[in-house]
Chain A
């Protein structure tokens, strides 16, 4: 018998290998450090003068520019050296002023013909590229509470409309709101109104002393929905804000129930990133209190510019910023004053209309709510000892950013006037546009990896991979001679295929990922070793050479299959339940098993077939 593959099998193998070669190719082109310039607002056009100014600034500072490219919206200036990136950015930022967003970027250098067929280099994890990583926790409880506040305001308005007199009672321990009535009839009428107008509320009636009470809150399921919505909306808002930063390939991802991960590769200025992301701001629209309003229905707030005295606002919230669908800053055509044009979604528009219709001539305030980080010291008992622990926390600050007179009933579209400056108008528009948050967020985690550390990690990763590969190559040749050489060719193809698959799947390469690759190389040899030792055994048992090769592959296959499938099971489960580094490792491990199965069985077999397969006269095998 002869060991031959049909032609289509050889062709298939050659095709896969060629494909692997092409798709692993982009990884050979390193990214250029670059500076990205874009307009601060979407309408800004980058004129050639702007670019010239930026390039002139760099030239004066002695920073070598490799190339500049882009269009009227975004421009990329590629630099020669990575360590000048930081300096270049601050220089350009100073030179151009606040009208432009100047951000760090890594520009790919992959040739066009490769990107045209969808071949891109692997993304590098933060540990390899450098950058910042934030983990934010969304205070979903707050979002639910806020929703209930709004519902509460609406219900009171509904009751007033129905001329049902109520008395506000303190919140119940579980957060449900309570209203008291003097007789059972009024209470039951109120219950009917509330249930009719607010189908998503859980309404209960009861008696407390001589009062008749209606309490309402959200159902468990509704709370979960609201929490989910809050996280999803925050996610969208953060995506928008990250886009404002102009970072290449940012990662904004939900993690678990109420966490959000943000990774900004290449960003070193955490303060700047935090400022933009950490605008964990929200907005509220409220009416200014009437002079004769009772103290319990009003609240006093300071202005943001601090020069103006506090203003008294109604406790009831008309809408919050998450109802804003778009916002633009421009100038009032008559007075020339800065203003912000706002569009609301349909629910928001209806509420705004209801609230403003009857209140023309009164003033409406836009409240800006910010979470300021603070650290407080707590005393805790740990292992029987009393220790002081620093707990990072947040303090909520509410400031009025605008207080303007309502000229007419407002609907879906209206404008906010009375803004102090163009800057204030554009910032308000930006905040509203970028989407205010549905719930406040806290920074739980922050990691910064320097770019030099990243470069060092890559170098060490490549060094150790090559070192490991060299050791295996020598070992295999010494132990298995010609077969060892064939196995080495297969191993190199395996490494190439792994890179190609990871690039194709858009996997992110991390340091543990590199470890996974290196480890897979070590283990990939196993399949070949199994086959080769089986062939040796068969020869020892006196089988004819071609038969021995055939049986060696056949018998070893069962062991290889069982062994690899179990390892693959582990890899897949790791991927499913793991996060971060574990996931990165699981990806490389699983991909490595698949590619090594292909190379160790198909590729070496085809090579062995090509070298030995056709020879009937084979007496001795160099194994």
Chain B
């Protein structure tokens, strides 16, 4: 109980090169998928018409798709929405008449009761405007965060945190691209929340790194980082554990509207936890973090020019 030496330090950084490799593969893979396959932009971004239908019996989306195609509706996305009885149809264009026609068509070809639950027409240029704003918000947020960390910690830490952040969001978005999941505004919100989450995680690790560099006279940067990661491991796991539990509850019980948000966040929390352990600190090592960077707070602004 009263053992003052550091027992059982996990050598996280032993895996640092493997982790770098995995991350590079994931980031490059995500970027490739994002540029070639792109994202499955939802209605919020593309514009068009969305019709939510409720059938009185389970139906196959495949069948509905064929029906619509044979009636001349091309470019129509049909998907299940929560249950096999709820169907969501997305089509380009925003003509109320056309949406009604489509719903009529479907109810004619179905023996039973079909109810239209929701109709949305969304103009695409609004989506574009929002996309710009979202992107701008992201950049602005990153800038502010970098400034704050540079001010509170040190320049290298702010670079590390922001790179880790970019790493997380690129991989989470890459996953959405690879799986072809619909990217709508709630998913965008999830990415921004994930930025907050992953940042929080990274900062807490960094906080320990800073503290240990200042407190401990001995030890190489790798050792210091290993000690810091070991000390924060319990907290990291507990927090991502509770957050993941809550997100699973959202994913399972929150309904279809929140599904995209929950999946993006789950992906984000997993990646964010991994990156705060392996990537954020790893980046510090690549930037040759040293005790001199932190030990004397007054000198924080000086450039470290050791090899």
Residues of A within 8 Å of B152, CB to CB, are 562
Residues of the B chain whose Cβ atoms lie less than 8 Å from the Cβ of A585: 186, 189, 192-193
Chain A proximity of B156: nearest CB distance (Å): 16
Q: Known contacts A522-B242, A558-B207, A559-B204: does B117 contact A515 (CB below 8 Å)? A: no
Binary A-proximity of B245-285 (CB < 8 A = 1, otherwise 0): 11101101111011001100100000000000000000000
**Pick from A523, A562, A564: contact of B243, CB under 8 Å:** A523
- The yes or no answer to A540 lying at the interface (CB within 8 A) is yes
| Residues of B with C-beta under 8 A to A444 | 123, 125-126
Contact with A along B7-24 (1 / 0, CB 8 A): 000000000000000000
Q: Does A37 contact B (CB under 8 A)?
A: no
Bound complex: CA A90 to CA B257 (Å): 31
A259 interfacial by beta-carbon distance below 8 Å = yes
- Interface residue? B203 (CB, 8 A): yes
> Are B243 and A569 in contact, with the CB atoms below 8 A?
no
Are A567 and B200 CB-contacts (below 8 A) given A471-B249, A522-B246, A581-B186? Answer: yes
The proximity string for A residues 459-492 relative to B, scoring 1 for CB distances below 8 Å and 0 otherwise, is 0110110011001100110010000000000000
Chain B proximity of A466: nearest CB distance (Å)? 9
Taking a contact as CB atoms closer than 8 A, the residue among A446, A448, A537, A589 that contacts B196 in the complex is A589
Identify which of A283-291, A450-458, A496-504 touches chain B.
A450-458
B149 lies within 8 A of chain A by Cβ: yes
Residues of chain A within 8 A of B235, CB atoms compared: 526, 529-530, 533
A401 at the A/B interface (Cβ < 8 Å)? no
Q: Is the CB of B185 within 8 A of A581?
A: yes
Distance in Å: Cβ of A467 to nearest Cβ of chain B = 4
A540-B1, A570-B141 given as contacts; is B246 within 8 A of A445 (CB)?
Answer: no
Q: Which residues of A contact B148 (CB under 8 A)?
A: 565-566, 569
Given A135-B123, A566-B148, A576-B137, check contact A530 B245 (CB 8 Å): no
Q: Which residue of the partner chain, among A375, A456, A521, A582, contacts B185 with CB atoms under 8 Å?
A: A582
Question: A573–B197 contact, CB under 8 A?
Answer: no
Q: Is the interface of A mostly helix, strand, loop or mixed?
A: helix
Instruction: Give chain A nearest CB distance to B190 CB in angstroms.
Output: 8
Complex Cα distance, B203 from A516, in Å, reads 21
Q: Is A525 an interface residue (CB 8 A)?
A: yes
Which A residue sits closest to B185, measured CB to CB? A581
Query: How far does the Cβ of A395 sit from chain B's closest Cβ, in whole Å?
Result: 15
Interface residues of A in 536-573 (CB under 8 A from B): 536-537, 539-542, 555, 558-559, 562-567, 569-571, 573
Determine whether A518 belongs to the interface, using a CB cutoff of 8 Å to chain B.
yes
Contact A579 B95 (CB under 8 A): no
Nearest Cβ distance between residue B196 and chain A, in whole angstroms?
Answer: 4
In the assembled complex, A580 has its CB within 8 A of some CB on chain B: yes
Contact (Cβ within 8 A) B4 A523: no
Contacts of B234 in A (CB 8 A): 533, 536
**By the criterion CB–CB under 8 Å, are B2 and A542 in contact?**
yes
**What is the chain A residue whose CB lies nearest that of B238?**
A529
A582 to chain B, nearest CB (A): 5
Q: Is A574 an interface residue (CB 8 A)?
A: yes
CA distance A63 to B101 in the complex (A): 33
- Least Cβ distance of B202 to chain A in Å? 9
Contacts of A542 in B (CB 8 A): 1-2, 4
Task: Please pick, from A389, A445, A555, the residue contacting B121 in the complex, using a CB distance under 8 A.
Answer: A445
Contact B241 A578 (CB under 8 A): no
Measured CB to CB, the closest approach of chain B to A372, in angstroms, equals: 14
Per the bound structure, the CA–CA distance linking A562 and B207 in Å amounts to 8
Q: Cα distance A186–B103 when bound, in Å?
A: 67
- Tell whether A579 pairs with B130 under 8 Å between CB atoms, given A392-B95, A445-B123: yes
Q: Please, which residues of chain B bring their CB within 8 A of the CB of A443?
A: 121
A59 sits at the interface (CB 8 A): no
Question: For the complex, is B76 an interface residue (Cβ under 8 Å from A)?
Answer: no
A533: which B residues are within 8 A, CB to CB?
234-235, 238
Within B169-197, the residues touching A (CB, 8 Å) are 185-186, 188-189, 192-193, 195-197
Q: Determine whether B164 belongs to the interface, using a CB cutoff of 8 Å to chain A.
A: no
Offer 22 A-B interface pairs, CB within 8 angstroms, sorted by A. A127-B257, A389-B92, A389-B93, A453-B118, A461-B258, A464-B249, A468-B246, A472-B245, A475-B241, A475-B245, A512-B189, A519-B250, A522-B247, A525-B242, A567-B200, A569-B145, A570-B145, A570-B192, A578-B134, A581-B186, A582-B130, A586-B192
A453-B117, A516-B193 are known contacts; what are 16 more A-B pairs with Cβ within 8 Å? A137-B123, A392-B94, A445-B126, A448-B118, A448-B119, A460-B258, A471-B245, A542-B1, A566-B196, A569-B145, A569-B148, A570-B192, A571-B196, A582-B185, A586-B189, A589-B193
A contacts, CB < 8 Å to B: 127, 135, 137, 256, 259, 375, 389-390, 392, 443-450, 452-453, 456-457, 460-461, 463-464, 467-468, 471-472, 475-476, 479, 511-512, 514-516, 518-519, 521-523, 525-526, 529-530, 533, 536-537, 539-542, 555, 558-559, 562-567, 569-571, 573-574, 576-582, 585-586, 589
